[in-house]
Each structure stands twice: as C-alpha cells, then as structure tokens.
Amino acid sequence: MIGEGGTLLLATRNRGKTKEFRDAFGKLGIEVKDLHEVEGIPDIDESGETFAANAFIKATTAANLVGLPVLADDSGLCVDALDGAPGVYSARYAGEGAGDAANNAKLLRELEKAGADFRSDGEFGLRLLSPARFTCSLVLYDPEDDSRLQAEGSVEGFILGEARGADGFGYDPLFWVPSHSRSMAELTVEEKNAISHRGQALRKLLALL
C-alpha cells in the first residue's frame, strides 16, 4: 500500500474534493493527482446501489487503467423527508452533467412537493425543512498488490429553506450544522474538515494507513 514519497490518484474531477484530500495526504508526503492531470480515464459508470459500492467501482476501474493506487469516494446527501433521496444520485440529482445550482434547486422543489416543513428556528430566523445527513465512503485500492482500504463517515444536520454561505460546494449552502449554528458553506475549510463526513472518513482511512 502507498507510503511516503508515493503518488496517489484521486478519482474525481471535483477541484473542491481534490483540495481537501491534497491537504491531508500532503502531510504524509504523498502526492495527490486528480483526473484533470491524467489521460485515458473515461467517465466511470457508477452503477452501485450504495456509496461503498460506487467508491469501489471507481477506485478499481481507474487503478487498473493507470497502474497507480487510486482513492475514490462516493458521497451524498440523504434527506429524511425524501426517504433518503438524493442518496447515491446526489451528484446527478437534476440530471447527468447537472451543476450544484441545478441540484440544489431540484432538492428544494422536491421538498416543497413533499410538504416538508420540519420546524422554524426563531433564534437564527431559519426555516428547517428536514433532518438530513451527508455520508461518505472512501476506498483506496492499490493494483500492485490488489489491496484495499475502506472507511466511512457521516454528519447529521438539517436542510435549510434557502441557501446560506458562499464557500464549500455541492449541497453545502443548504445544509445546516447545528453544532456550529452555520451552514456547511459558512464554515472555514478547517472547521468543515473537522466535522464533515469526508473529513471523518479520511481520518479513519489515514489511521489505517
């Protein structure tokens, strides 16, 4: 399995994710590249029914193409009022190639259709539509010795009736973090990494390494 001085391919084209992982692995002396920096990796069909299954598909497919250790994550938002949706479809909730704005807009539309209205928070002037959680599964696969490490993390919160904050990515502006009384998009990178589903999974994975 990869060690200091090694190179790791991150199976994503999401620059926000790349920054988070590059910061963490850099402290171990491991160089992190993403799919913007390598050629020959087609879009990978995420046909799994769980986050862990999709992460494994992405990691093994990319690793066998490039011959490098590959770290893949599959993560998403599970909303109670929508019976766990968007779940594994979080990145393409509004359709293939949909951006963050389209996915967030669809989420709010679906919650409106469902009549979701969990409660109002008078202290912060918020409308909270539903309990929800971010979940992340990480799989690190090394084709050299066919070894695999896996870790998971999750963070609980609520879906806001309107977006707050300009940082983060994905559904962060709509995800209220009760412990910090801010949306995920209002947290600093350090604060987010300390509590986020991806941060939790990453720390568990680094401990395994």
Catalytic residue list? 74
According to the annotation, is 45 in a ligand binding site? Answer: yes
**Residue 82 carries which DSSP code?**
G
Helix (H) or strand (E) holding 200: helix 197-208
What does the DSSP assignment read for 85-139?
A: -BGGGGGGTTSTT--HHHHHHHHHHHHHHTT---EEETTTTEEEEEEEEEEEEEE
According to the annotation, is 109 in a ligand binding site? Answer: no
According to the annotation, is 106 in a ligand binding site? Answer: no
According to the annotation, is 22 in a ligand binding site? Answer: no
Residue type for 69, please?
Answer: P
According to the annotation, is 170 in a ligand binding site? Answer: yes
Tokens representing 11 are 């199976």
Residue with tokens 């909730």: 93
According to the annotation, is 135 in a ligand binding site? Answer: no
According to the annotation, is 171 in a ligand binding site? Answer: yes
According to the annotation, is 117 in a ligand binding site? Answer: no
According to the annotation, is 83 in a ligand binding site? Answer: no
In this structure, how many other beta carbons lie within 10 angstroms of the beta carbon of residue 175?
27
β-sheet bridge partners, residue 72: 139
According to the annotation, is 145 in a ligand binding site? Answer: no
According to the annotation, is 16 in a ligand binding site? Answer: yes
What does the DSSP assignment read for 127-185?
A: EEEEEEEEEEEEEEEETTTTEEEEEEEEEEEEEESS---SSS-TTGGGEEETTTTEEGG
In this structure, how many other beta carbons lie within 10 angstroms of the beta carbon of residue 114?
15
Tell me the angle at which helices 15-26 and 197-208 cross, rounded to the nearest 10 degrees: 40
According to the annotation, is 15 in a ligand binding site? Answer: yes
Q: Which residues are annotated as a binding site for Mg(2+)?
A: 45, 74
Q: Which residue ranges make up the annotated binding site? A: 12-17, 45, 74-75, 169-172, 192, 197-198
Binding-site residues for substrate:
12-17, 75, 169-172, 192, 197-198
